[in-house]
Chain A
Amino acid sequence: MQTTVRKWSLLLGAAAVLAVSQVAWAQLTKYDLESRMGTESHIGNITGHAKDAKADYRRYCVVCHGELGDGNGESFPWVDPKPRDFQLGVFKCRSTPTGTLPVDQDLFDTIARGLDRSNMPQWSTFTKQERADLVAWVKHFSPRWVSEKPGTPIQIPPEPEITAERIKAGRDVFAKVQCWKCHGVQGMANGPSAATLTDDLGRPIAPFNFTEGARPKCGSTDQDLFRIFMTGLDGTPMPSFADNIKPEEAWDLVFYLRTLEPQKSKEKAIAKQLALKPVDPNAPAGQQ
């Protein structure tokens, strides 16, 4: 018994050292956090209050995200990807441009959705009020919400009709902006750059594999896909393409991405009819 305990504390000690070196960026104290206890969130007509989420956070989130929100909870050593460090104010799932804060609705949606292929669970049992309170709580950890406003959500035009032309055009976009460098020509996460990718903490990270039927972390509707590649996933190699894909072309690309997935869809049926081939990385520009 004695030795087990000692072993555990040794392990925890080692983990703590590791943890400290991992999150050397975090510098906030309890005192800083107290001063931001009045943080609010606004979801439609619901107002969330940070102070009301204290108990829920303790109970459901602290094991991973830690007392100070630095992602350094008890589970830190065993979780990969690492729990988000809320003090940094950097988020993967945003409707806002790269390098800006997400809007409250983004965090609200994320908490309910969970993050696929990570230890971040789906939280569908909270009431909307509780979830809004948790959003305010998440925000109170980062001084960024005091000094900055969230970004302006990107515009998503109405979704057009799925056509063979659009799917072919989407394939050209996939080739032209070179999604395949990371995701691979068939979307199998095996592009020439896939093996060396690391996240902002320097940990290896794999691109999304479209062929496995997995759910993207930031949502799986057509609008979600549109948003994902236009805003990028901050903190990861997945960049924003907002400057290089026009909104119209973005819909074409969404339709093309659907043809890579294993699920049955109108897009997949059309691709089959067209006998659409994967992009050719060696084709000269504009000649797919």
Chain B
Amino acid sequence: MRNRYNLAAVLSAVILVCCGALILGQKVNAAGEGKITGTVKLDGTAPHMKGIDMSKDPYCSKAHASDPGHLETVLAGQNGGLENVVLYISEGLSGGALTEVPTEVPVFNQKNCMYMPHVLAMDVNQKFKVVTSDQTAHNIHPLPNPMINVGWNQSQPPGAPAVEKSWKAAEVIPVQCNIHPWMHGWFVVVKGPYATTDANGSYTINNVPPGNYTVTAWQETYGTQMQKVTVAAGKPGTADFTFKAK
């Protein structure tokens, strides 16, 4: 008898939570219309991106026979647009916009002995995948601060299945391949909506409800910059950033 009451209680709790989730979900969808857009530029001449000597692995050097690999620590386009800058909201988020975890699964590919993309942004607890397109073995070895996230180290020989993971806390995490020491990239784990600049330095952060925010731009060589932005209903916020070339 007692048990039945308990069951009823649990059931109604489940129903309540489901309804709650539906209502909340709708709210987030409405919020989804807001966005922050802008461009990130480099002021000055981009530093020379050194070529990479891949001769230790014939597979890698052959893959780059006509298009030599080079460092990717500062990638500036023709108009000075900076690629691979991560933008996220460092202040002002609350509720679903902060806690909602995107369902899409970003992919980090090992291709021609380089990381594609070189910088992969993601939300806390968002699933991401590491895959390999190469016919040479890699090991994928992120190096978080062990006091914040837990690192791991997995081999990915040719034909290896994808490694699917997530990170439990916000952190900028370097990732490397020990077999190919030039392979160095980043997992940028943030809380809430984010975007990464394209080759022109443009970005759009979606799913931002109306409100006042601080947007942070992270670039691996130049560090971070912040700006205040207001998003109004039906009116996207804009924030352009400029990093000085060093």
Partner of A285, one of B153, B158, B163: B158
Whether A25 contacts B137 in the complex (CB less than 8 A), given A177-B157, A182-B179, comes out as: no
B151 at the interface (CB under 8 A from A): yes
List CB contacts (< 8 Å) of A197-254 with chain B: 197-198, 200, 232, 234, 236-244
B99 at the interface (CB under 8 A from A): no
- CB of A149, distance to nearest CB on chain B (Å): 12
CB atoms of A240 and B152 under 8 A apart: yes
Set of chain A residues within 8 Å of B154, measured between Cβ atoms: 98, 232, 239-240, 242-243
Set of chain A residues within 8 Å of B179, measured between Cβ atoms: 178, 181-182, 193
Q: How far is the CA of A196 from the CA of B152 in the complex (A)?
A: 19
Mask, B132-146, CB within 8 Å of A = 1, is 000111011101011
Set of chain B residues within 8 Å of A90, measured between Cβ atoms: 146, 151
The residue on B at minimum CB distance from A90 is B146
Set of chain A residues within 8 Å of B178, measured between Cβ atoms: 182, 193, 196-198, 237, 239
Residue of A182, A243, A282, A285 with most chain B CB atoms under a 10 A cut-off? A243
- CB of B33, distance to nearest CB on chain A (Å): 37
CB atoms of B158 and A98 under 8 A apart: no
- CB of A200, distance to nearest CB on chain B (Å): 6
CB atoms of A238 and B151 under 8 A apart: no
Set of chain A residues within 8 Å of B151, measured between Cβ atoms: 90, 99, 200, 234
B7 at the interface (CB under 8 A from A): no
Q: Chain B: how many interface residues by the 8 Å CB criterion?
A: 29
Set of chain B residues within 8 Å of A241, measured between Cβ atoms: 155
Set of chain B residues within 8 Å of A100, measured between Cβ atoms: 150
Partner of B155, one of A148, A198, A244: A244
CB atoms of A234 and B152 under 8 A apart: yes
Whether A25 contacts B147 in the complex (CB less than 8 A), given A237-B178, A244-B160, A285-B135, comes out as: yes
Q: How far is the CA of A285 from the CA of B136 in the complex (A)?
A: 10
Set of chain B residues within 8 Å of A232, measured between Cβ atoms: 153-155
Chain A interface size, as a band, is 35 or more
- CB of A225, distance to nearest CB on chain B (Å): 16
Partner of A177, one of B137, B146, B153, B180: B137
B contacts, CB < 8 Å to A: 56-58, 135-137, 139-141, 143, 145-147, 150-158, 160-161, 163, 178-181
Apart from A177-B137, A232-B153, A243-B155: 9 A-B pairs, beta carbons within 8 A = A99-B153, A178-B136, A182-B178, A193-B181, A232-B154, A232-B155, A237-B178, A238-B153, A285-B158
9 tightest A-B contacts by CB?
A99-B152, A237-B178, A178-B137, A88-B146, A239-B139, A239-B155, A196-B181, A98-B152, A177-B157
